[in-house]
Structure 1
């Protein structure tokens, strides 16, 4: 891309650099066209209604997925496994790649915090295990309907006693003839009240990771109770608590092989962390954009906020971190575009998500300080910053907490260093 097309807000730093005329090695005419398509959809179908959904505590309408697909915006992510399931008319020449997905996630997040179309992201996390490990029978039950926007699927892993410690889940699936009998609880299940199906992690064997399997479960099955949980940021999407009481699941709904569910999930988590990082980057940029414009127009002590050196420092630090995060998101997206195997992406995706949540936390804090008292109330010029501030922990904890991911990255580095040291002594 010799010279990028100007697009969106041209205030410095308020859009990614390639939106503001700077060349990039990653984006093509296909990406430029897709970006316009995504923003037009968000401007028409989300922006006019988002505040009302949030204020009323409503779930966004399920029909939004149908309208998204009609507008050419995919409904279940753009991972390699899902490409062939989309209608040919919405797939660009040469196919979708990781940068189309980055653009889509970024543009949805640019609409503001609140989980609008959040189930699309959850579909993109819950469907891959079905696509790369599920039988044709399992795929035929769910994939086409999710791709078409008619149904949804949620990833049900975490439990009251097992969040980031996936290997410790307790929900059981006991084989009984042609069925599994499933019992247990699942907590923090995003979009569980919107889901028609669950990609459910259960214990079919002994303790630890090797005893975990995945089942595709009809969320309307007898014995399943789903309730929405009030959260720090009570979104128009939702977090749920699911109770499973002697739920009969056909044995044919096993995803892949028994005892390999943990492996399937670990591969899937890398993509989830990129999804979270892209949204966190746009939220961070929104904090910066709101703060910059407020600092220019707001006067204190006889001069604009932007004339105070400390405020300029805050703005510069925010933008420095946002741009570094954008670059890192694009670097990881490029690895996916080049088909680097998921098992090699664990450390990069772990560190990326931590970088994203820490950047978002910093930007939300500094934006709140710049807006002052206006950031404490859910009205007026600081109401968007107030909302963003309540969204921070939803980036820092789901998908693997910062502490767990930093430890993961360190352990992988230490293991690699140990191997290299051993080789050097041969």
Structure 2
């Protein structure tokens, strides 16, 4: 195993912001995604701990002049000097023998660490280029750094949290993309489903590329799940429906819902009229193909509050609600944030009794803080418990985001560098481990 020497400074640093709730989490589709390989763990050999200890740490990378290059959160493995690292570490782990560097004091008036520089010392390890994916949601002001009282040492990601009660299972979102690039094979999709199928009733997909409908159909049939399918490109509705029909072998009994678009009105990808026109077109094409189930437009709660007709014309109201993007909401308030938001939407509907399904919600376990919304393993567990408790009696109206960490996404300051780390319990897909 290769050893490299770098200068590291560990800080208990979380960024606070006054960002507005309308800037929601973005699910970037494969066609628009930038591939970022999953970084290895950092291993430090020394005397900090008496036994091998693995914890998330906020890491500041500096050059040879001790100038900050960038800040990120990574898994750090502390190994006693007496332990042979090649016998104790996972194959994907990079060993780092780091010289001691004094911890820097950070004040609320400190400036954001500069972006990576191409002239940085070659001994500095750069995990990501940190070039944000362009998105209308990234227009919020950059968060100002602030000292956080959250401890830097946290336990390793636990197994996927238990499902809520109530006799039915909630759903979860799923993406068929490898962190290193490319599409997951049928066997890799099946391996993913084997890990999570028993905990979730519905698996939500977003599109039809990567042969995902066919591979997910085979896995869902094997493991006993339903599918929530998606038409991502509303300019190719007929083609998407045809691909869906072939992918499920015209066995529509396994399909719970078909969505049209995802947050298009919110992010400026389509007008309300275009979304509703695509909805009508999709419903007609699906009915002709033999599917008789719900067809819905999915958008953020901000878009639905402004344009309730998106709900009114859908077969039920499908809305993405992410408490993490409200800087005034802490993890233990996530459930009440969602129920309050659902109530506000209901008050806008022409039929107040209409079913409302939260089609995306969750909490990141890594990234930067957004005011009271702080990412972390413990925080994610608290938030998910709060959310599930809010849906104890209607768990099938809840779809969590997301089954596994999305390492195919690119870190984005607009989403608090958390975009990759929403996996349930911090879980990675086997194909990314």
More strand by share: 2
Higher RCO, 1 vs 2 (CA within 8 Å, ≥6 residues apart): 2
Higher helix content, 1 or 2? 1
| TM-score (ref. length: structure 2) | 0.25
